[in-house]
Chains A and B, each alone.
Chain A
Amino acid sequence: MAVVEEIRPTTDALLKTKAPKRPANMGQFLRWFFLFLGGIAMVMPIAFMISTSLKWPHEVYNLRLIPEEPTIENYTYVLEDGRFYWWFVNSIIIALITTVCNVIFDSLVGYTLCKFKFPGRYIVFIAILSTLMIPTEMLVIPWYLMSQQFGWLDTYWGIMFPGLMTAFGTFLMKQFFETVPDDFIEAARIDGLNELQIWWTVAMPLVKPALAALAIFVFLGNWTAFIWPLIVTNSVEMYTLPVGLSSFGDEADVQWELIMTGAAISTIPTLIVFLIFQRFIIRGVVMAGLKG
């Protein structure tokens, strides 16, 4: 609570601050300068994405930010192309299910590792953490062979199964459950809840900020996932958005304006997810029931 409450006034203060009256010193200038550079670096790709999506094909390699003859033709084309809807729906379904599964399973495991003292819990935790060190690229082949054997190729399940639980999420949730005082859990135990009820009705609401952060990470990660969905899917109807978008055009003739249009549209759900969950991150209420 303390930490979170401190953040709020700071952001409020930042928003209210007018341009400083006194002359800015050198250090401050440099700081602003680098922040500005950072800002440019973040905004430019988005600006180019939108700008390219408004250009005619012949103008794509002209790197002007403002198109000479802006057009919404690309949007009409992409939205009228039935495949785009398929991909969009596929991506939504996969990202949503994966997010829900991660929120539930990661926090279940994290909670267990954090709040139950059983022999070997440390080893389990280390084992989970160590999987963080294995890059996806290395896992893709075993995943593929496994999917092939079980007949999961070209199915939703095939796309989703590697990501239904993540080591990172488990670690994150374990660390957050450390902040939930044992008193809460013991009080609930005396009140007669079983362990699953305690986890769901007492512990989970107290780590909402972490759940929101996890949900954003997982959703974005799956929304933009490329390599695995590309490998595991064969048919165009099973593509996710990133895979589908990259298939606009072939090697000789990549249709950048269409890809950028699709990309621009596909940022909308990520914005929505972020807007929904970020307020939970800012307004955490973990400690309010305790003497703070």
Chain B
Amino acid sequence: MADLILRDLVKTYDKTQVLHGISLNVHDGEFVVFVGPSGCGKSTTLRLIAGLEDATSGDIEIGGRVVNNLEPKDRDIAMVFQNYAIYPHMTVRKNIGFGLRSSKKSREEKNKRNEEVADILDMTELLDRKPNQLSGGQRQRVAIGRAMVRDPAVFLFDEPLSNLDAQLRTQMRLEIKKLHQRVGSTIVFVTHDQVEAMTMADRIVIMKDGFIQQVGTPAEVYHKPANTFVARFIGAPSMNMLPGRVNGGAVKLHSGFDIDVGGKLDAGREVLVGVRPEDLHPNEEHAILEGDVSVCEPLGHETLIYVGTGGSEVIAKADGRVPPKVGERVRLSALPENLHVFDAKTGEALV
């Protein structure tokens, strides 16, 4: 029932255009994650959906209603902020109840709902505490609780985990995902952490400079990046990009190797061949690259090796038990299906 539809959203501050036509359909119950580098317009998009900011042009539709001219409170949304924004002068109970202040429910119904939410979030013993008596994770849970009591059609999260330490972040990530499975509402979640995006999302929206670069499931954006930006942004360490030129049915890399990319490409075209470090291994057969190992980073079960290949450095993964030594000459190979070809000028994916 509560689909969220963005149609050609444009936002301009004074003279600078921040969003250049954002269009997206979020289905009912879907968990969509906006991800992108700092300043790409993620928060702005979220604030437009929330109604904290007016769109310069374009439509926002929630549950079949165009909400452009509605106040935030009438949009049937709830938002969780990066800084939690729970009120320091109120107890947890009051903070959670705050979300229901303007609702027409009876007092008993409200209390019942508060207890319910506290129970779901496992905070019943904390209800009478003030925020400064809570840990960071607990504060964030209160903020989520305040959003939950209202039972909104769409939840908006703006980098809610970025103030937490790594371990807590992993834990909260899981909790939010479980919550989503339990409550089943539509969620729009903003982050600049691609791991968060990959692990939580049903679909990922990758943004850059106010443009959507690609929308897809985590698997799609990982395996079929639409352009070099997405290819580099998703996955860590980043995808290696090897410059080359199309030569018949193959690509001749500037480093000298010919590789078969299994597609029909215009001859003479300048391209970038992308290969992820996890797909690139030391191997004598089918080598596509050759160079000297400059740095080894052992990670236990595998070792990252940085290989200088005349001009550029690539990252590859080697076996953790018998990694190559620094200074050793290695040949690197990758399976043809793990190679991505992009236009060198536009960055668009070609195969």
Contacts and interface: CB of A to CB of B under 8 A. Distances in A.
A77 interface: no
A184 B82 CA distance: 11
Nearest to B77: A190
B101 A191 contact: yes
A190 B79 contact: yes
Chain A interface size, as a band, is 20 to 34
Contacts of B107: none
Contact of B85 (A183, A285, A286): A183
Contact of B83 (A181, A190, A193, A285): A181
Contacts of A285: 88-89, 132
Given A186-B52, A291-B163, A192 B73 contact: yes
B84 interface: yes
A193 B88 contact: no
Interface string B31-59: 00000000000000000001110000000
A193 B85 contact: no
B141 interface: no
Contacts of B78: 190
B146 A206 contact: no
B146 to A, nearest CB: 7
Contact of B72 (A183, A189, A205, A287): A189
B79 A291 contact: no
A192 B147 CA distance: 12
B88 A206 contact: yes
A288 interface: yes
Contacts of B139: 289, 291
Given A206-B89, A285-B89, A288-B130, A191 B146 contact: yes
Contacts of A206: 87-89
A183 B83 contact: yes
Nearest to B73: A192
Interface string B128-171: 00111000100100000010001000000000000100000000
B46 to A, nearest CB: 11
Interface in B69-95: 71-73, 77-79, 81-89
Contact of B136 (A190, A286, A288, A291): A291
Contact of A288 (B50, B79, B99, B132): B132
B85 A187 contact: yes
A193 B98 CA distance: 9
A222 B101 CA distance: 39
B101 to A, nearest CB: 6
A289 B84 contact: yes
B98 A191 contact: yes
Contacts of B50: 186, 190
A153 B79 CA distance: 55
Interface in B247-268: none
A282 B249 CA distance: 76
Interface string B80-120: 01111111110000000011011100000000000000000
A191 B131 contact: no
Contacts of B86: 289
Contacts of A183: 81-83, 85
A291 B139 CA distance: 9
Contacts of A288: 88, 130-132
B60 to A, nearest CB: 15
A83 to B, nearest CB: 44
A189 B81 CA distance: 13
A191 B73 contact: yes
A181 B85 CA distance: 8
Contacts of A188: 98
Contacts of A190: 50-52, 72-73, 77-79
B239 to A, nearest CB: 33
Nearest to A289: B88
A202 interface: yes
A291 B83 contact: yes
A25 B10 CA distance: 68
Contact of A187 (B77, B81, B136): B81
Which of B71, B83, B130 has the most chain A CB within a 10 Å cutoff?
B83
B49 to A, nearest CB: 11
A290 interface: yes
B87 A289 contact: yes
A279 B88 CA distance: 17
A30 B74 CA distance: 66
Nearest to A181: B83
Nearest 9 pairs between A and B by C-beta? A192-B102, A192-B73, A288-B88, A289-B88, A288-B132, A183-B85, A205-B89, A187-B85, A291-B163
23 contacts: A184-B87, A187-B146, A189-B72, A189-B73, A190-B50, A190-B52, A191-B73, A191-B99, A191-B102, A191-B150, A192-B72, A192-B101, A192-B103, A206-B88, A286-B88, A287-B88, A289-B84, A289-B88, A289-B89, A289-B131, A290-B85, A291-B136, A291-B163
Interface of A: 181, 183-184, 186-193, 202, 205-206, 285-291
